[in-house]
Amino acid sequence: MIRIGLVGCGHIGTVHAYALQQLADADLVDARLVATFDDDAQRADRVARHHGGRPAASLDSLLDQVDVVWVCTWTAGHLAAIEAAADRGLPIFSEKPLAPTYAECERAAAALERVPHQVGLVLRWSPVFRNAAEIIASGRYGRPLASTLRDDQYFPIQGLYGSTWRGDVARAGGGTLIEHSIHDVDVVRWLLGDPASVSARTACRFGYAGIEDAAAVTLAYDDGSVATMTSVWHQVLSRESSRRLEVFCDDALLWTEDDYLGPLYVQTSNGTEVIDGQPPEWAQRFTVPEVFAKAIAHYAEPSKAFLDALAASGAAAVGHPGAADALAAHRIVDLAYTSAANGGIPAPFREQISGELRS
Ligand SMILES: NC(=O)c1ccc[n+]([C@@H]2O[C@H](COP(=O)([O-])OP(=O)(O)OC[C@H]3O[C@@H](n4cnc5c(N)ncnc54)[C@H](O)[C@@H]3O)[C@@H](O)[C@H]2O)c1
């Protein structure tokens, strides 16, 4: 059995613990949560009580007891946990963003590259975006001409995401762009490839220093196409988090308003095809209240894939997505911040990304 340790037992740590427990209880993986650690001992204790394992007294003590580590602290805590686990040769699942600054992201990526690893850019596992990626890569509707991705969420220091660190630049690294839309940047780069340049404007309307709550980013491509991303944190508490993607190709418009199952709509001169995404069939074996079913299936699928890879290939296991993709997304975010600080001047992407880590 693969012994799992969880570092950081807040919101997403609890979601992962729940998904890992469901996978183990349904005999879908031969792996189980055996140890939890959080700077707030009560949180480590609560997750262990509900989802398995025992609270560890320290990070070192947790690392002594496990075969793989799930890093789910707030963003500023990722690097130390990643480096400590990598120093012991332990496989790592790390939540996004890798770290608050690009320099720390490079260090985190370098440490991850030393061991089997996977990054929690979970939209890579959304059936709706996989369907879009497959269609765009096939070229059957021609070239992408222009794309938009709008992402909005209520300012996440309240409600479901009630955690004050998202208003603190030292712990979060920035606002809506790095904390939430790192997912979007990764999806756009996956669908459309590396941009030639990045330009952006950001705004800080709610007064948290260094925490932009509105960002408009433009990615320009060598072939003349463009993608724009609008990312906003608002105060409409009935809008938890939503995304809308539109990709205009020569011969079709692809769009969706849901970031997990879709549907994906494909409009051509012949009408509109509706492509429904499906959760993995094995998720039917979960014993999860209906209200959590989709979210747990969404997080369980990448976790199962990583654990399956570890079971099959051990130290040679490769998780998806990995550090190179995550670092490339961070590079785009970093260039967007640089551009915004310089009045929106475009910043070139390729010449600055390390050839070694380019995926
Ligand atoms: N992939 C996703 O969909 C997704 C969703 C939500 C959050 N996240 C990411 O997960 C991370 C955690 O977010 P959250 O919403 O769970 O925050 P949270 O505040 O609910 O939980 C963070 C926990 O980390 C603990 N912690 C902080 N530093 C620590 C350290 N050095 N050692 C041990 N514990 C430490 C805190 O005490 C807290 O319990 C963030 O980086 C966030 O961006 C990812």
pLDDT in tens, 136-151: 999 999 999 999 999 9
pTM, two decimal places: 0.96
Closest CA to 105 of 323, 336, 352: 323
Structural domains in the chain, CATH included, are 2-122+295-321 (3.40.50.720), 124-278+326-352 (3.30.360.10)
Pocket of ligand 1 (CB under 6 A): 7-13, 37-40, 43, 72-75, 77, 95-97, 120, 122, 161, 163, 165, 179
Alpha carbons 22 and 63: distance in angstroms, whole number: 23
* Ligand 1 atom 21, closest CA: 10
Closest CA to 352 of 333, 323, 331: 331
Alpha carbons 189 and 183: distance in angstroms, whole number: 10
Query: Is the bond leading into 263 cis (omega within 30 degrees of zero)?
Result: yes
Predicted pLDDT of residue 60: 98
Predicted pLDDT of residue 163: 82
Residue-wise pLDDT tens digits, 104-160: 999 999 999 999 999 999 999 999 999 999 999 999 999 999 999 999 999 999 888
**Cβ proximity of 141 and 135 under 8 Å:** yes
Please give the distance, rounded to the nearest whole angstrom, from the Cα atom of residue 266 to the centre of ligand 1. Answer: 37
- In what order do the strands lie in the sheet containing 54-55? 54-55, 31-37, 2-7, 68-71, 92-94, 117-119
Q: Which helix (H) or strand (E) holds 198?
A: strand 197-203
Pocket test for ligand 1, best of 12, 58, 306 (most atoms within 8 A of CB): 12
In the chain, pLDDT over 70 holds for what percent of residues?
A: 97
Q: Flag residues of the chain having pLDDT under 50.
A: 355-359
Query: Which atom number of ligand 1 is nearest to the Cα of residue 7?
Result: 33
Predicted pLDDT of residue 357: 45
Please give the distance, rounded to the nearest whole angstrom, from the Cα atom of residue 73 to the centre of ligand 1. Answer: 4
Pocket test for ligand 1, best of 14, 74, 333 (most atoms within 8 A of CB): 74
Please give the distance, rounded to the nearest whole angstrom, from the Cα atom of residue 98 to the centre of ligand 1. Answer: 12
Query: Which atom number of ligand 1 is nearest to the Cα of residue 179?
Result: 43
Alpha carbons 256 and 132: distance in angstroms, whole number: 9
Classified as helix, coil or strand, 199 is strand
- Determine if residue 53 is left, alpha or beta; phi over 0 gives left, psi from -120 to 50 gives alpha, anything else beta: left
Encoded tokens for 197: 């340049």
* Ligand 1 atom 19, closest CA: 163
Query: Is the bond leading into 91 cis (omega within 30 degrees of zero)?
Result: no
* Ligand 1 atom 40, closest CA: 74
What backbone torsions phi and psi does residue 35 show, to the nearest 5 degrees?
-150, 145
Predicted pLDDT of residue 352: 54
- Rounded to the nearest integer, the mean pLDDT of the chain is 96
